[in-house]
Chain A
Amino acid sequence: MTANPARKATLSLRSVWKLFGEGAGAVLRDTGGNPPPDLLREHAIVAAVRDVSLDVHEGECFVIMGLSGSGKSTLVRCMSRLIEPTAGEIVFNGENLLSVSPQRLIEIRRHQMGMVFQHFALLPHLSVLANVAFPLEVQGVNRVEREKRAREMIELVGLGGREGFYPRELSGGQQQRVGIARSLAVEPGVWFLDEPFSALDPLIRREMQDEFMRLQAVLKKSIVFITHDFDEAIRVADRIAIMKDGAVVQIGSPEHIVMAPADDYVAEFTRNVSKSKVVRVSALMKPLPKRAPAGGYAGDIDAGARIADAAPLFLGASKPLRVTGADGKPIGRLEQSDVVKLMMQG
């Protein structure tokens, strides 16, 4: 599922800056919107987000990955104007968010944005049902209707039967399910997830990632997903943006980033990733030969499958695999030697 540049962008960022410190806006203007790092340091200004441009396409899961302090949390808050960007343009469904009125912004947030928080941000005094219904309550939806919708969402995340519980009576994983249900209650056009699983135990985290991917397969939301965990990024992402010191270093599909890291910083993340679990068959596929090979094929494999799934099929036979497309027709071949080479890279 590589990105198709022709796809419609739900959310576009153009040269977004966020500077902290006194006189930050003036410095940015004086330098024509591109202040050199030395100058910023001189004015004791911290650049949390530097000149970020990116597009989040409709229905894709766009992951922003970076270590703590890289500015990813600030960036996602700029996207919804929870933090006011210092400069740049943020276009959401054709509307520049930075120039809309406060009333319009409230409207947009109420109806078109949903957000999941790292530490869940559940209201302690409300039951699960009331928490999930809260965004609708704020909009003024009547009780019957909002509770009906909330119950659907609670079913969707698998918490049916817990409607009357309070947040402190739930486990971390369950609390985040409530957070997810709440963020989906308004059927948002863009779904922000700010390190949603970072506060959970590794086992639960894995389970929640699976749950998240199951939901996304059904809902097909436009997603901005923040994480500091590279493994998580390549699991859930359609595309990844890697951030360092407030700037985006590389944007691309997980395969692209694993196979061709833009610099040493990115390569450092990819080093310990087993490539066979990321790279898809299509990336190593060679064209079908004119004539079928002498020994025939060892078997068929889907072009979208990962190399790690293809590898066992070579066992006991030194023949290539035939690659089939989404419609089941053969579109290429996969050579054992290519697979071995990739797997030996780690």
Chain B
Amino acid sequence: MALDAGGQQRTLKPMHLVWLAALSAVFALWMWGKNVMPWAFKVPRELRIPARTWIGNAMDWLVETATFGLFTFMELTRFISAAVDAPYRAVLSLLSTGFLKGQGSDAVQMLPPLSWVAVIAIVGLIGQYAGGRKLALLVTACFGFIAVFGQWNNAMITLASILIAVPLGTAGGLLLGIAAWRWPVVDAMLRPVLDLMQTVPVFAYLVPILVLFGFGPTAAIIATIIYAMPPMTRITTLALRGVVPEISDLGNMVGCTRRQMVWKVMVPSAMQSLMVGVNQVIMLSLNMVIIASMIGAGGLGYEVLTALRRLDIGTGVEAGFAIVALAVALDRLSQALARRASSHQHAEAASGGLLARHPYTVAAIAVVILTGLLGLALPALQSFPEALLLTTGDFWNEVVKWINVNYFDQLEAVKNALLLNVMIPFKRFLTGLPWAGVAGLLVLSGWSLGGWRLALLTGVLAYLIAVTGQWEKAMITVYLCGISVVLACLIGIPIGMYTASSKRLWTWVEAVIDTLQTLPSFVYLMPAVMLFRVGDFTAMLAIVAYAVSPVIRYTALGLQRVPESLIEAGRANGCTDWQLMTKIRVKLALPEIMLGINQTVMLALSMLVITALVGTRDLGQEVYIALTKADTGRGIVAGLAVAFIAIIADRLITAGAGRLRARFGLSQREASV
């Protein structure tokens, strides 16, 4: 970097000199400072903040002594548990267990659950209603796939959790969002909390929930609701603010009360944007319900988790496919429903009986009753006949075996070459750096990109990571995340550049990355583990696969948005295609590409924590261990450290992109994802 500043024909600016000096100072400190200034390498004891103990004690206090006068905190959590548990039991009975009487092994089934035929038919009918025959076929196929491959019961358990979490998460987010829209104070209070909640890794949520609500599906649902609520809150506030002022003027002019204003004017007018939020809640809930299998959600996530623990590739892959099928079906269904809800069309007044007015409802009820009755006589209709079950588990095991027999050496060679020549040296380098020097450089970057406020923020966050004793693990996190992001960019940017030029190619690539982004993060672990077993390399592959989508998307969109007139001007001046790409398109698309990289960093960090399952040694592992030991202090401190890294990266990259944009004289453009 120093060479770059001085070695080219550019004149040395004061800023370059500052950087040169700072880098030399850190370099000198790194080389010779170990004995002179040991505190710069290892945080001295007196500076340490025992945040872990504090949080642990606070948690103990909450659990043991906290009281609201009339009832204790624990009683409150028990009440919440019960309130979530009752509807969950009902839905679970309907979809999976049937309605039972009695406890444990004495239980007698009073009513069977909905048969697989009925569920598929209902889903198909919803698809038909929301998006026509094509959608109906797609979702029927997805659910059929789940039945045929023997994941039916697991999928229904997962679905039951989602069916409870989504309405509660949506309603909670909606109410909070409305409150933030109406009262600026609430908005000001919520904003930093939401920022933090969206950067804290998911595992970190799970630890306090586990302590407060125990182990089981109820706790998992509560975690899911908390996880899925922030985006809905944010989207609600934005959507209400986005309603044109004339509409609220109208509400006032016809004399709406406050309540009428919110529920009759604002919320319906913002429906289209709100439905985007609902889709997000559904997809996030699915992701979280899978992850929350760690605290007892059961279902498909548990299947993947146990398969990972046993390294049973076949079962894991099958459950993974079932998750993908469920994700695709839910995503397409909710998107189609959203479109339908906001495209109002007049209908010829339907006359006639119940059937003519509510054809879908009548058909669904008919199917339920018919299959219920027939299921008594024909068990195959009630639960999918085992004789017809297909399993690909053995097939996948065979595939893995075959790959390992035939290509083991090649795969190992690639893995070892990367590990030994790139990953491990980089890791050593980062962990060897003095924390004071790194923090100083971060402050300097903050100052030069965004002024003293940003410098202060990055400085304080870096300092907090160090004094809570997380520095080394944080550096390992940065190393794994950094390498993955670089690899994702090396793959993603060329793909983005290549597809940007062709409209047809882009529609295909977009469909693929859209689907990739709907898949729960767990799913990405399976193929990587299949080929490379556990370790940093596997983790890196999973992270790259999960995080590559945004950089492709933003690169392509950024390139496509370069004004045609500039390209023509370049052509008129005799640029070759290569010059057009490098000198005009990429330069102008750079701010957009940086935003893509930013998103990739965020996704990489969130995936990183999940890769703790395949044996990494970073903050993610710390959170994971805390989860298994139900150690709230440890989990939250490590989780916050990940969040701080994310916030530092996010603010620095955003500020950098903003400066580039200002330099090119481009206006603030809306992010496209």
Contacts and interface: CB of A to CB of B under 8 A. Distances in A.
Interface of A: 77, 80, 82, 106-111, 113-115, 117-121, 123-127, 134-135, 137-139, 164-169, 186, 192
Contact of A124 (B256, B257, B268): B268
Contacts of B420: none
B246 interface: yes
Contacts of A124: 268-269, 271, 342, 344
Contacts of A119: 244, 246
A283 B347 CA distance: 56
Contacts of B257: 106
Nearest to A106: B255
B349 interface: yes
Chain B interface, DSSP helix/strand/loop, else mixed: helix
A121 B254 contact: no
Contacts of B346: 127, 164-166, 169
Contact of A109 (B246, B255, B345, B349): B255
Contacts of A80: 252-253
Interface string B498-516: 0000000000000000000
A291 to B, nearest CB: 60
A106 B268 CA distance: 21
Contacts of A166: 344-346
22 contacts: A77-B249, A82-B252, A106-B256, A106-B257, A109-B255, A114-B253, A115-B253, A117-B246, A121-B246, A123-B250, A124-B271, A124-B342, A124-B344, A125-B268, A126-B268, A127-B344, A138-B256, A164-B346, A164-B347, A164-B349, A167-B344, A168-B343
Interface in B231-258: 244, 246-247, 249-250, 252-257
A115 B249 contact: yes
B253 A125 contact: no
A123 B260 contact: no
Chain A interface SS verdict (over half): mixed
B271 to A, nearest CB: 6
Contacts of B347: 164
Interface string B339-354: 0001111110100000
A166 B271 CA distance: 15
B254 A110 contact: yes
A109 B253 contact: yes
Interface centre among B256, B268, B344, B347 (most CB of A within 10 A): B344
B34 interface: no
Interface in B322-380: 342-347, 349
Contacts of A115: 249-250, 253
Contact of A134 (B254, B271, B342): B254
A311 to B, nearest CB: 43
Nearest to B252: A82
A119 B247 CA distance: 9
Nearest to A139: B255
A146 B66 CA distance: 55
Nearest to B265: A123
A135 B254 contact: yes
A124 B254 CA distance: 17
A144 to B, nearest CB: 16
Contacts of B249: 77, 82, 115, 117, 121
B254 A138 contact: yes
A118 B246 contact: yes
Contacts of A113: 253
A162 B257 CA distance: 29
A168 B253 contact: no
B133 interface: no
B264 interface: yes
A22 to B, nearest CB: 15
A247 B463 CA distance: 57
What range describes how many residues of B lie at the interface? 20 to 34
Contact of A168 (B244, B264, B268, B344): B344
A166 B253 CA distance: 22
Given A110-B255, A115-B250, A124-B271, 16 more contacts: A82-B253, A106-B257, A107-B255, A110-B254, A113-B253, A119-B244, A121-B247, A123-B269, A124-B268, A125-B269, A138-B255, A138-B264, A139-B255, A164-B346, A169-B345, A192-B253
Nearest to B272: A124
Given A117-B246, A119-B244, A138-B264, A125 B344 contact: yes
Interface in B254-303: 254-257, 260, 264-265, 268-269, 271
A114 B226 CA distance: 44
Nearest first, the 4 A-B pairs at minimum CB distance are A110-B255, A166-B344, A135-B254, A121-B246
A73 to B, nearest CB: 10
Nearest to B343: A168
A123 B247 contact: yes
Contacts of A139: 255
A137 B246 CA distance: 19
Nearest to A188: B253
Contacts of B253: 80, 82, 109, 113-115, 192
B552 to A, nearest CB: 34
A243 to B, nearest CB: 20
A113 to B, nearest CB: 6
A107 B247 CA distance: 19
Contacts of B247: 121, 123
Nearest to A109: B255
A236 B256 CA distance: 31
Contacts of A123: 247, 250, 265, 268-269
Contacts of A82: 249, 252-253
Contacts of B344: 124-125, 127, 166-168
Contacts of A118: 246
A200 to B, nearest CB: 15
A110 B343 CA distance: 29
Nearest to A137: B264
Nearest to B348: A164
Contacts of B254: 109-110, 134-135, 138, 186
B349 A121 contact: no
A117 B249 CA distance: 9
A192 B252 CA distance: 13
Nearest to A127: B346
Interface in B515-547: none
A138 B252 CA distance: 11
Contacts of B345: 166, 169
Contacts of A186: 254
Nearest to A136: B254
A121 B264 contact: no
A121 B252 CA distance: 12
A180 to B, nearest CB: 13
Interface in B70-101: none
Contacts of B256: 106, 138
A121 B244 contact: yes
Max count, chain B CB within 10 A of own CB: residue among A80, A115, A167: A115
Which of B255, B256, B269, B347 gathers the greatest number of chain A CB atoms within 10 Å? B255
B344 to A, nearest CB: 4
Contacts of A135: 254-255
Contacts of A107: 255
Interface in B438-460: none
B252 A109 contact: yes
Nearest to B254: A135
B260 A125 contact: no
B593 to A, nearest CB: 36
A109 B252 CA distance: 8
Interface string B636-654: 0000000000000000000
